[in-house]
Amino acid sequence: MTDLPSDRFVRSHLKMRQLVLLVELGRHGSILHAAAAAHLTQPAASKLLAELEHALNVPLFERLPRGVLPTWYGEVLIRRAGAALAEMDAAHQEVMELLSGLSGKVAVGAVLTPSTGLLPDAVKLLKARHPRVRVAISVDTSKLLVERLRAGELDIVIGRVLDAQAAAELHFEPVTDEPHSVIAAAGHPLAGRTDLRLADLVREPWILPPAGSILRDRLAAQFLNAGLEPPAETVETLALPVIVNLLAGSRMVVALPQELVQPYLDMGLVTVLPYDLGLTMDLYGIVTRRQHRLSPGAEAMLATLREVTAQRYPRGER
């Protein structure tokens, strides 16, 4: 059986140049090309690789007539070396940010409702305190946003965790739920009805979220449970300005939280139809990755999100 080296032994033999070389070997499959990419001579690269294999006491690469192929051990080292170098790059970026005053970039994703209230308020507060922090915002469904969070493309998501398998990797801080109402243009023919039924609504043209969203699925279930086919005339969009313009002067209806359209209600552009859908969504919340340290800019964004959440949704209302 192969003797496994101690952590201290491996660390004492591991060099930054070896990490770089491992990553380049994984990319190029050639010691010659990897050495050039790592700014090493071929003999120096071969020596570094031999030292690492000796320290670990396992073969990391299979030597072929044309290049090298990583063994299972090599694949593990390449993956871990890439992650280590990425962390070192992030550490350097954080140090530079702290030296020059808080700056950098934070990427935030949000589902529709918090993208119009909670998130903009938090961003304005962040920019008032740290104007040099750059913020990139994505608005999409929870499923797609959480996938991007897990892939490292987003730092923070305001949404729902729908995948039980992913939940173990994520930290979820609940914000609030979303009771939905049927929204239509002011003056819609059904607005004055006191006996409105789901069968009346199904005949109207609907604006729906994309297929696969939790709201779309629950709306379909509402109709099917009532013995009705889902609406036949539909438009799919998540963009609120598009939704409001589609509603204007048309018979279209949409299921949205009243909070989301309150400014348009106040202006008299839309109305809430007198029918209780009885439809609420699961709690959405602030989602981050477990065991992942955020950059200072992302930490500042997270702090302002928590602060604005506490102001907008006191604990009794969550």
Question: Model confidence over 39-87: pLDDT tens digits?
Answer: 999 999 899 899 888 888 899 999 898 889 999 998 988 988 888 888 7
Greater confidence (10 vs 57) lies with 57
Q: Which residue has the higher pLDDT, 221 or 91?
A: 221
* Beta bridge partners of residue 186, listed in sequence order: none
Other beta carbons less than 10 A from residue 224's beta carbon: 11
Is residue 296 included in any domain, yes or no?
A: yes
82 within a domain of the structure (yes/no):
yes
Say yes or no: 153 and 298 in one domain.
yes
Co-location of 275 and 296 in the same domain: no
* Cα radius of gyration (the chain): 27
Residues 122 and 60 placed together within one structural domain of the fold: no
Give the CATH number, domain containing residue 118: 3.40.190.10
Check whether residue 183 and residue 274 sit in a common domain. Answer: yes
What single DSSP character describes residue 60? -
Position 183 pLDDT exceeds 50: yes
| 100 band by pLDDT with thresholds 50, 70 and 90 | low
Same domain as 183, residue 171: no
Residue 176 has pLDDT above 90, yes or no: no
Dihedral of the alpha carbons of 269, 222, 109, 85, in degrees to the nearest 10: -170
- Domain total for the chain? 3
Among 49, 78, 99, identify where a domain stops.
Answer: 99
1 in any annotated domain: no
Q: 112 and 29: one domain? A: no
Q: Higher-confidence residue: 317 or 294?
A: 294
Examine the fold and report which residue of 68, 99, 130 is the final residue of a domain before the chain moves on: 99
In a domain, 275, yes or no: yes
Q: Which amino acid is at 75?
A: E
* Residue 154 lies inside a defined structural domain of this protein: yes
Looking at the structure, do residues 245 and 276 belong to the same domain, yes or no? yes
CATH of the domain at 78: 1.10.10.10
pLDDT of 13 above 90: no
Same domain, 149 and 81: no
In a domain, 85, yes or no: yes
- The Cα-based distances of 301 to 123, 221, 294 in angstroms read 7, 37, 10
230 and 85 fall within a common domain: no
Position 26 in a domain = yes
Summarize pLDDT for 114-160 with one digit per residue, the tens.
998 899 999 999 999 888 889 999 999 898 999 999 888 899 999 99
Judge if 195 and 231 occupy the same domain: yes
- Return the pLDDT at 291: 83
Residue finishing a domain among 99, 126, 148: 99
Ramachandran angles phi, psi of 7, nearest 5°: -60, -45
Say how far apart CA 109 and CA 107 lie, in whole Å: 7
285 contacts 175 by C-beta, under 8 angstroms:
yes
Domain containing residue 55? 7-99
Do 151 and 218 have their domain in common?
Answer: no
Return the minimum-mean-pLDDT range out of 10-19, 233-242, 301-310.
Answer: 10-19
In a domain, 243, yes or no: yes
Residue 201 CA to residue 154 CA, distance in Å, equals 38
Pair of tokens at residue 208: 């729906």
Considering the domain architecture, whether residues 91 and 161 belong to the same structural domain is answered as no
What is the pLDDT, as a whole number, of residue 1? Answer: 41
> What confidence category does residue 165 fall into, taking pLDDT thresholds of 50, 70 and 90?
confident
Residue 8 has pLDDT above 70, yes or no: no
